[in-house]
Amino acid sequence: MVARAAATDKFFENCGGPPMSAAAIEERLRLTLEVRPGERALLPSFGCRVHELPAIETEHERRLAEVLIEEALHDWAPWAGVRRVSLLSVGEEQISLRLTGRLPGMEISFRRSAERDTVEGR
């Protein structure tokens, strides 16, 4: 966990500086969520494991997706202070959610990717 925190600080090194606009925060959170672990050669554990779920249809799968998203944001965007993720809608290629925590309720959408090459898969 210590190595991951150091990598996170380097990756998002400007996040602790002056206040960011809502658009900049949304862009950085979306980047974290759209990447599958293994896609970044220099930071293979970076990303969100929600892409590993074959489907998000049942209540159990929805809750699991929320937990995986919360985990990714806790690990890779701790500066955002997200405490709770609620799925608003799930499509084949798009996930919309509400984030609550340090930021007042923010709604964002991100692209759910199909299988892509990962560092291990090359």
Structural domain contains residue 53:
yes
pTM above 0.85, yes or no: no
Structural domain contains residue 86:
yes
The larger pLDDT score, comparing residue 10 to residue 120, is at 120
Number of domains the chain is built from: 1
Structural domain contains residue 116:
no
Structural domain contains residue 66:
yes
Comparing C-alpha atoms, which of 115, 93, 116, 96 is closest to residue 105? 96
54 CB-side CA count, 13 A: 0
Helix pair angle (59-76, 2-11), 10° resolution = 80
Structural domain contains residue 26:
yes
Which H or E run contains 82? strand 82-90
Structural domain contains residue 119:
no
- Domain limits for position 86: 2-12+22-111
The CATH number for 70's domain is 3.10.450.40
Which amino acid is residue 26, in one-letter code? E
38-89 pLDDT per residue, tens: 999 999 999 999 999 999 999 999 999 999 999 999 999 998 889 999 999 9
The contacts of residue 70 (CB under 8 Å, 6+ apart) are 82, 84, 85
Structural domain contains residue 42:
yes
Structural domain contains residue 70:
yes
